[in-house]
Amino acid sequence: MGILRLHETDNAEIEEFRRMLLSCAAGHRRKDGDDLRDNVPVISGAGNEDVLEKLVCVTSGVSYLGIAIVNQLLVRGYSVRIIVDNEEDVEKLRQMEISGEMRLTNSIIEIVMAKLNEIESLANAFDGCRGVFHTAGFIDPAGLSGYSKAMAEIEVSASKNVVKACGVTPSVRHCVLTSSLLTCIWRDNSCNGLPSVIDHSCWSDESVCQNKKLWYALGKLRAEKSAWKVAKESGVKLATVCPGLITGPDFYHRSPTSTIAYLKGVQEMYVNGLLASVDVNRLAEAHVCVFEGMKKTASGRYICFDRIIGSGDEIENLARETGINSSTIIGGASSSNRARFELSNQKLFRLMSRTWRCFNE
């Protein structure tokens, strides 16, 4: 059984489904006193009360990371409510299912139209969900003109709203927020006494990010700090995942602005041994593992990477995939003056090792 039981040869049926889905999603708004589950358009699945215990919400479920998390949740038996804010995203989801990018399961997928700048809208969307994955990244809709300082402020506001909405939604028990490794590594390296190991306890310096105009790093840093502050005030159980550069099949074309924004300052990251990446599917597994672990003892921040880019072949691959000249990445660095610091993802490694069965095939 699949998420959508569509027959690609029947164009009339597909077109009718498209119109129905777009109409339902665009028109969804919960009225006071209504049960959200009765109003959310369901893409597929046979619903029952047991399913509701495994209902979770993913913001920006059509993004490169978002769809990977959705797939991981589906294959592990979760039902997923995806937040979208326009009809084009609904169409993207339908195309993903038809193309096979969205994995086939017997679970339920729901689509909800909601605005990340409206707490009430988010709370309505979260109603009935046991957990929320906030993955949304704000990028320049024009493409490669870059991640600006203004976008950083929007990201901060959205993260605060998501956690506040979790706090006022009785059904939500846990929230997992996607942050970035950049929130840990940008420090004033001229200072003496900096620890050589960078792990989940390390925080970037806002002034360093501002001075270097690292707006993506600044946005993620302020968004995560704001989320932790709101979570503490509202009693929300929060965990954050701080990934390196998100890679995988066609990653640059699927997520160009955030990729370029992440790589601003790439030469300094490379020289200091801090240029790390993580495959999108591995990162999605980590998100689900952290969420599962929160039901027991998992909490706090988790650094996530599976490769530290350092060899000549790795540099050439990154340059080829992103269009960045390899000399821009390495500059004048040599093997003798690299790797001033060491990245540690031991906290996440231990968690995933303890729950390895949740990642078997």
CB-based contacts of 4, cutoff 8 Å, min separation 6? 17, 43, 44, 94, 97, 98
Would you call 235 exposed, middle or buried from its count of C-beta atoms within 10 A (0-12, 13-18, 19+)?
Answer: exposed
Tokens of 43: 């893409």
Cβ–Cβ < 8 Å for 4, 106:
no
Q: Hey, which residues does 83 pair with through a beta bridge?
A: 59, 112
Long-range own/partner contacts, residues 47-50 (CB < 8 A, 24 or more apart)? 47/79, 47/108
Residues annotated as part of the active site: 220
DSSP state of 331: T
d(CA 301, CA 8): 44
Rg (C-alpha) for the chain, rounded Å, is 21
Lookup result for tokens 């929060």 = 238
d(CA 65, CA 247): 10
